[in-house]
Structure 1
């Protein structure tokens, strides 16, 4: 990587550190921010200057609940070759990067496609987002997410231990455990129901703790939410049925909440879309009528629990559970619709999501020493978070991302 110093000047900096825009010259070298200065004379140090007058500069966005091969439900998953899904997953990641989504956590993908792409992007051979991986989605027989082809059905303590160790052996970063039903699935996949038995859950969490792996817990129903938090889940995914008891427990814990509001709200159909962008997305992503009705039924309680979590000070990160590449853009807007301020939503989609992935010392804010994952916008996202769609430039570890190009090798 070049040792040249690039500087981004005249832009207004917005990140989790300050609820108001601030001025500053951002100096970047070898992929990292090396300084933020306020003196025009400092610009003499730069080899190249990006004049961002009238622009707004934020950290790259995160989506910490994705399935990079496709989305939910994946009607084609059982009819395609593994190579097709693998190629599509990489393209999806690249397309997300072009929208300013510079980091993704993958919480269920078949045959360790996520691990393979993480390693390839990390090699530096091709420009892509950072990936944080879980491998397979671990559920029970007659569990959740079965249509995706990304779920492993396991039963009994011995099988849980073996399958979790297989994920570890293949190099995942986190372990994804399914505790309850969800919005989308067969009639027996009911959201309030908990699927693993207590001995299975205890064995799974104990093993992850012993080996130092944090658990990503899918839990929609109250019983599963309470068990996820009590067993020490690192993140609670969905939380569709959060009530006062759940929120109080969550606020007192070290568990992060990844609400995936878009999964319920964006799958209700075009009549619920609030703008042209949402309308086009829902038209392009039709859903089975049964699932659409289940999303409508769940959305109100989902939003209510989210608002209670905000008020209680729960740590909330940004994860969409929608098809790439647009998920994070929809989710950050949905967080504001459902009760967050714009600054809270930006914090959730940057710093808190970096904390979820255990890399907040390297990402999530615009500070010296951190990687230069930077988004440049034409309009102020604090005035309207939909301005994240009014993109000017994206930098990934200091590299300017070609927004209209095919994959770039360097």
Structure 2
């Protein structure tokens, strides 16, 4: 049986011009045909969905996420694992998030949910797992519960081998401090010694695992790029050489603007205001974020202008809201809606190595799709007008009836 989505305005994330009156034919989870200028003839057994002119595009990706931060004393592990799965499934059905790349979780809960979704035990998004993120003793974001403290070259090698043994897809390595942490956890400082960095990158290279490198100032960014990091996460402070190296080494940048920009003072719309109010960030951390925001904006805008390869990652929660907030910040800080949309679709799949099957609407690709009520190329917040979510060619969420009530 085929599924036909007719009367859609297609944004395929290959070409920036929307194509009206398009039909998409789905069979065996994949896009079999794209017909422009009219409806595809339907057979008696075909399932037909009328988009009524709404905008059909690839599902969305967030490539820097964590589960909620709870200690085991606050919430037992089984409850944390269940909550993470609920957050993932809600993000798929309520916001059209079809893919996530994790940047740290304790007890390999991201691996567990990846396996559950892949085995069709539950309907959920595609998950690319990191397990713990690796830092030093006294390193970055220890109170999150997601960090694993390592020391010395062999300490990092052993930890990476443990992560691989437990089924991760990539290694998350924290080269430096951050904005959200205690006074000694600073994004202007590096944490690893040269010999620790070398050992970590060497073992990942030998085992064929990509490194997701938390790097927040120029020295850390340059070290990560030149040693072979797959992606730079954050890049709060960079310089012109960082931009040149990102281009030279064809390294991904995931800027996570939400970390420095989402404070009550900086909120610029109702969604940001509500989120910052609910988050309740302390005054001290708001000050740290606001002090970093100007530099972060400057180097994000320069990276966009230079054509650095970038994907969208939020680093915030809940997952159903995170990427939508991050996309709004991208357009506020200098990216066009098209650049933002590509970062959250085509590039989201590509940074995870899934670009041959996902991330664009093309014949032969897996049908992970969304339909929204207004053109996101006019305003990226139109992605919030979600009508349909399609995963593996099956409608898993239909918001049209709810909106009609």
Q: Same fold (TM over 0.5)?
A: yes
Whether the 8 Å contact between 1:378 and 1:392 is mirrored in structure 2 is yes
Q: Cα offset for 1:164?
A: 0.1
Matching residue of 2:104: 108
User: For each residue in 1:231-255, what CA deviation from the matched residue of structure 2 results, as whole angstroms up to 9, or x when unmatched?
Assistant: 1100000000012121111121121
Would you say 1:247 and 2:247 are equivalent positions? no
Matching residue of 1:36: 34
Q: Cα offset for 1:79?
A: 2.4
Would you say 1:210 and 2:206 are equivalent positions? yes
Residues 206 and 382 (structure 1), Cα distance of their counterparts in 2 relative to 1, 3 Å cut:
same
Q: Cα offset for 1:78?
A: 4.8
| In 1, Cα distance between equivalents of 2:145 and 2:5 | 44
Matching residue of 2:403: none
Would you say 1:87 and 2:82 are equivalent positions? yes
Would you say 1:27 and 2:22 are equivalent positions? no
Q: Cα offset for 1:15?
A: 3.0
Residues 137 and 403 (structure 1), Cα distance of their counterparts in 2 relative to 1, 3 Å cut:
farther
Q: TM-score, normalised by structure 1?
A: 0.94
Computed over aligned residues only, the root mean square deviation of the Cα atoms, in angstroms, reads 1.3
Matching residue of 2:197: 201
Matching residue of 1:408: none
Whether the 8 Å contact between 1:56 and 1:379 is mirrored in structure 2 is yes
- Number of aligned pairs? 395
User: For each residue in 1:370-406, what CA deviation from the matched residue of structure 2 results, as whole angstroms up to 9, or x when unmatched?
Assistant: 11111100111010000010111111111212367xx
Q: Cα offset for 1:309?
A: 0.3
Unaligned 5+ segments in structure 2 are 400-405
Whether the 8 Å contact between 1:222 and 1:242 is mirrored in structure 2 is yes
Matching residue of 2:134: 138
Matching residue of 2:113: 117
| In 2, Cα distance between equivalents of 1:179 and 1:117 | 27
Would you say 1:351 and 2:349 are equivalent positions? no
Matching residue of 1:407: none
| In 2, Cα distance between equivalents of 1:277 and 1:35 | 37
- Give the secondary-structure state (helix, strand or coil) at the position aligned to 2:346: helix
- Give the secondary-structure state (helix, strand or coil) at the position aligned to 1:206: helix
| In 2, Cα distance between equivalents of 1:309 and 1:78 | 42
| In 1, Cα distance between equivalents of 2:39 and 2:177 | 59
- Give the secondary-structure state (helix, strand or coil) at the position aligned to 1:236: strand
Matching residue of 2:216: 220
Whether the 8 Å contact between 2:31 and 2:362 is mirrored in structure 1 is yes
Q: Cα offset for 1:224?
A: 0.6
- Give the secondary-structure state (helix, strand or coil) at the position aligned to 1:112: helix
User: For each residue in 1:320-363, what CA deviation from the matched residue of structure 2 results, as whole angstroms up to 9, or x when unmatched?
Assistant: 00112211111111111111111111000001111100000010
Whether the 8 Å contact between 2:42 and 2:48 is mirrored in structure 1 is no
User: For each residue in 1:185-236, what CA deviation from the matched residue of structure 2 results, as whole angstroms up to 9, or x when unmatched?
Assistant: 1111111111010011001001101110000000001111110101110000
| In 1, Cα distance between equivalents of 2:314 and 2:72 | 20
**2:365 alignment partner, one of 364, 370, 373:** 370
Q: Cα offset for 1:75?
A: 5.9
| In 2, Cα distance between equivalents of 1:296 and 1:39 | 49
Q: TM-score, normalised by structure 2?
A: 0.95
Q: Cα offset for 1:290?
A: 1.2
| In 2, Cα distance between equivalents of 1:5 and 1:54 | 20
Matching residue of 2:387: 392
User: For each residue in 1:67-110, what CA deviation from the matched residue of structure 2 results, as whole angstroms up to 9, or x when unmatched?
Assistant: 0x21xxx3656522111110110001011102101110111000
| In 1, Cα distance between equivalents of 2:199 and 2:363 | 42
Q: Cα offset for 1:39?
A: 5.8
Matching residue of 2:402: none
Mapping of residues 274-289 of structure 1, within 5 Å: 274-289=268-283
Unaligned 5+ segments in structure 1 are 405-410
